[in-house]
Amino acid sequence: MKKVNWLVVLAGVLVGVAALALSALGNPANMGFCIACFERDIAGTLGFHSAALVQYMRPEIIGLVLGALCMSLVKGEFRAKGGSSPATRFLLGALVMIGALVFLGCPLRMILRLGGGDLNALVALCGFACGIFVGTLFLKKGFSLKRTYTLSAAEGAILPLVLVVAGVAFVLFPALFKISTEGPGSMHAPFFIALLIAVVVGALAQRSRLCMVGGLRDAMMFKDFKLLYGFVAIFAVTVIGKLLLGGMGWGKLTPFNLGFDGQPVAHSNHVWNFLGMSLAGWGSVLLGGCPLRQLILAGEGNGDSAVTVFGMIAGAAIAHNFGLAGKAGVAAAEAVTTNAKVVLCCGFVILLVISLVNLPKAAKQKA
Amino acid sequence: MVDARGYSCPIPVVMVQRAVKAENPDSLTVLVDEQVCVENVTRFANASGYKVTVTRDGEDYRMELKK
């Protein structure tokens, strides 16, 4: 087990390089990839929420799913299945999204932000680890969302098809969609280049099983550090890339900037950054993987993960329609609304209930 | 015998971990139906001192863990 898994390191390096390249090509700073932000932008471009600054059809999401789909077909791992508590997963997906949007980033963007010197992400990482730890306590007691069943291939094709149709419609008929003219939604790498990069990343993420939650979870539960190497590789590549290339002014890449203040698309409300990512970490452990991993699993034909992705998109719409998302670039005290605080607290109660009711009978009686 | 078919990781590894902790058996049969679970259970089993042989049985994998 001490053997380093080079495939996952390679995947981590590639994700890091791809994220730097996407930022240099036009994606928002420290947001080469952000599964939560990009699904939020897709919710926006479809008109599910009306936050004018975050509306765009992000090709990265489409590409990641297609890359995983192609690789799983080539390797004979594509298998349509589902039926493991889909409604619970939809709700968990929405809660993970809300937690991530309070902090302003999914676990992957948290590492990219940290690699860019954003110390708010370090606070979030502590919260994320705590959330994962709580989740593993329930896993050890036998928590499970019950088994999946093999389904017809059509079930596994739903999410890839929906995303392809949305992407094609966006390219052919952009007037049908809402597209940000300012703010993060207006900042993006060229559509087809981003799509191509994401396909490659999705394929390698499928092979390597890269997962931001899995890294810490497996280290805590099994002393298995395989996935954590990927996590560390992304961080290392981002730090080096930002220090070297950001300083040289590579495209639109911003330089490494250590500190809490003035970070791009971020705020410094430490308590709620911590709690937001705690909720995301705990919820992701119950789901069996981080938002990136859910996209990859959905590409492999997992209908439960597809439902989770739909739940995340719904969560993003809720987050913006009810003012739950963190506000970037304002004073820490104003960054997180009362609505968000109330919903996050309710979110923890919901996670506790889901964690308890899905324990085996014997463990439930003890608890 | 641990039948983890239909469960996604990490649940199969947790099931094996619980079985190993409870009885510390010299041999254990584990059924899974995903390649990724074969990889994960194998890593855990090797770290716990078991040798693993895997045979494909239709869409399932039969894993024999031996000390």
* pLDDT one-digit tens code per residue, A259-273: 999 999 999 999 999
- Cβ neighbours of B22 in A, within 8 Å: none
DSSP A237-294: HHHHHIIIIIHHT-TTPPPP--BSTT-TT----HHHHHHHHHHHHHHHHHHTS-HHHH
Domain that holds residue B17: 2-66
Q: How far is CA A53 from CA A192, A265, A339, in A?
A: 22, 12, 20
A12-26, A156-170, A350-364: least confident range: A350-364
In percent, the amount of chain A with pLDDT more than 90 equals: 94
Give the nearest chain A residue to B36 (CA atoms). Answer: A209
The two tokens of residue A270 are 């430490």
The answer, for B10 touching chain A at a CB cutoff of 8 Å, is yes
Per-residue pLDDT reduced to its tens digit, A48-105: 999 999 999 999 999 999 999 999 999 999 999 999 999 999 999 999 999 999 999 9
Confidence (pLDDT) at A366: 65
Q: What CATH number corresponds to the domain at position B51?
A: 3.30.110.40
- Cβ distance B17 to A222 less than 8 Å, yes or no, reads yes
Please give the pLDDT value at position A237.
Answer: 97
Instruction: Tell me the chain A residues in contact with residue B35 when contact means C-beta distances shorter than 8 Å.
Output: 75, 77
- Report residue A85 as tokens: 């508590």
pLDDT confidence of residue A312: 98
* Nearest residue, CB atoms, A221 vs list B5, B10, B59: B10
At residue A365 the predicted structure's pLDDT band, cuts being 50, 70 and 90, is: low
pLDDT one-digit tens code per residue, A173-219: 999 999 999 999 999 999 999 999 999 999 999 999 999 999 999 99
pLDDT at A100: 98
Spatial separation of the C-alpha atoms in residues A223 and A356, rounded to whole Å: 25
Is residue A214 less than 8 Å (CB to CB) from chain B?
A: yes
What residue type is A118 in one-letter code?
D
Whether A363 shows a pLDDT value over 50: the answer reads yes
- Picking from B7, B17, B34, the nearest residue to A144 by CB comes out as B7
The predicted model scores a pTM of: 0.95
Which of A41, A34, A1 has the alpha carbon at shortest distance from A319?
A41
A310 pLDDT band, cuts 50/70/90, is very high
Q: How confident is the model at residue A231 (pLDDT cuts 50, 70, 90)?
A: very high
CA distances for B45 relative to A210, A295, B67, angstroms: 21, 28, 9
Q: Distance from B9 to chain A by nearest Cα, in Å?
A: 7
Angle between helices A291-299 and A86-103 (to 10 degrees): 140
Look at residue A222 in the predicted model and tell me its pLDDT: 93
Instruction: Return d(Cα A234, Cα A212) in angstroms, integer.
Output: 10
**Residues A216, A308, A192: CA angle, nearest 5 degrees:** 90
Alpha-carbon distance A25 to A19, whole Å?
Answer: 10
B10 and A223 within 8 Å at the Cβ level: the answer is no
For residue A2, what pLDDT is reported? Answer: 55
Confidence of residue A249 (pLDDT cuts 50, 70, 90): confident
β-pair partners for B65? B28, B52
Position B14 scores a pLDDT of: 95
Helix (H, G, I), strand (E, B) or coil at A54: coil
The residue with tokens 């890449």 is: A253
- Please state the φ and ψ torsions of residue B3, each to the nearest 5 degrees: -100, 100
The ipTM (two decimal places) reads 0.92
Which residue in chain A is spatially nearest to B10 when comparing CA positions? Answer: A288
DSSP B1-62: -EE-TTPPTTHHHHHHHHHHHHH--SEEEEEE--HHHHHHHHHHHHHTT-EEEEEEETTEEE
Q: Of A11-25, A235-249, B41-55, which gets the smallest average pLDDT?
A: A235-249
Residue A367 is predicted with a pLDDT of 61
Instruction: Assess whether pLDDT exceeds 80 at residue A337.
Output: yes
Q: Tokens representing A281?
A: 């970490």
Q: What would the pLDDT profile of A118-138 be if each residue is shown by its tens digit?
A: 999 999 999 999 999 999 999
Whether the CB of B58 is below 8 Å from some CB of chain A: the reply is: no
Count of domains forming chain B: 1
From chain A, the residues in CB contact with B59 under 8 A are 79, 150
Backbone angles phi, psi at B66, to 5 degrees: -130, 140
pLDDT above 50: residue A18:
yes
* C-beta atoms surrounding A66 within 10 Å: 21
Q: Do B34 and A222 touch (CB under 8 A)?
A: no
* Beta strand ranges found along chain A (DSSP E): 81-82, 149-150
- CB distance B34–A302 less than 8 Å? no
Residue from A4, A73, A88, A224 to probe the interface with B (highest B Cβ count within 10 Å): A224
Best B3, B7, B8 member to test A by mutation, with max A CBs in 10 Å, is B8
- Calculate the average pLDDT of chain A: 95
Say if A3 is an interface residue toward chain B (CB within 8 Å): no
Q: Which residues of B touch A226 (CB under 8 A)?
A: 43
Instruction: Label the pairing between strands B60-66 and B51-57.
Output: antiparallel
Residue A301 or residue B23, greater confidence: A301
Contact B44 A302 (CB under 8 A): no
**B5-47 pLDDT tens trace:** 999 989 999 999 999 999 899 999 999 999 999 999 999 999 9
The reported pLDDT for the residue numbered B9 is 86
B27-32/B2-3 β-pairing: parallel
pLDDT for position A1: 45
